Amino acid sequence: MNPRRKKRLTIVLSVLAGIGLIIGLVLYALSQNIDLFYTPHEIVHGKDDTGIKPSIGQRIRVGGLVVVGSVKRDAENLKVQFDLTNKGEVITIKYDGILPDLFREGQGIIANGNLTQPLLLEASEVLAKHDENYMPKEIAESLGENHQAPKYTKEQLDKN
């Protein structure tokens, strides 16, 4: 091979290796910022298809129903703690901030945050459904066919 072609080949291979390294580093950085969706059942038992459980300190998104009677508010600040359930499994969510106006017990929500203990999520964001009939597809599927929306009296709705 002549020296000129050898030099061109070296330059082309170096550029391709550099581009590959940059792409690899970008993908690695992005993979650490992905919020994976879990249900309380999957946090306890692992994903149905792979059996993978979230690890302590991992940033995740959890969806389920707020357990009736589990909401505890701190009188001195915005801290709130409540339980989230689906398929009988329960995890605790701690949140420091203003909850959505539509947040109430027995309702489907999604919480984004870090798993600090096996069954405790420190939420940085809480999202509530926007009308009576909407429920995220993942939550509806995880609750199964037997799920029915909780019935509320007018007094309960006015109170919230």
* Residue pLDDT tens, the chain, 160 long: 788 999 999 999 999 999 999 999 998 887 766 657 888 988 888 887 778 888 898 888 999 889 889 999 988 998 999 999 887 889 999 999 998 888 888 888 999 999 999 899 999 999 986 655 556 666 666 666 555 555 544 454 445 4
Task: Tell me the C-alpha distance between 133 and 157, whole Å.
Answer: 16
Q: Residues 62, 138: one domain?
A: yes
Q: Residues 126, 85: one domain?
A: yes
Q: Residues 19, 41: one domain?
A: no
pLDDT of residue 88: 82
Asked if residue 155 belongs to a domain, the reply is no
- What pTM value is reported for the model? 0.63
Asked if residue 152 belongs to a domain, the reply is no
Calculate the CA 147 to chain-centre distance. 21
Asked if residue 160 belongs to a domain, the reply is no
Q: Residues 68, 84: one domain?
A: yes
pLDDT of residue 16: 96
Q: Residues 21, 53: one domain?
A: no
**Domain total of the chain:** 2
* Contact (CB, 8 A) for 56 and 117: yes
- Determine the structural domain holding residue 1 and report its residue range: 1-33
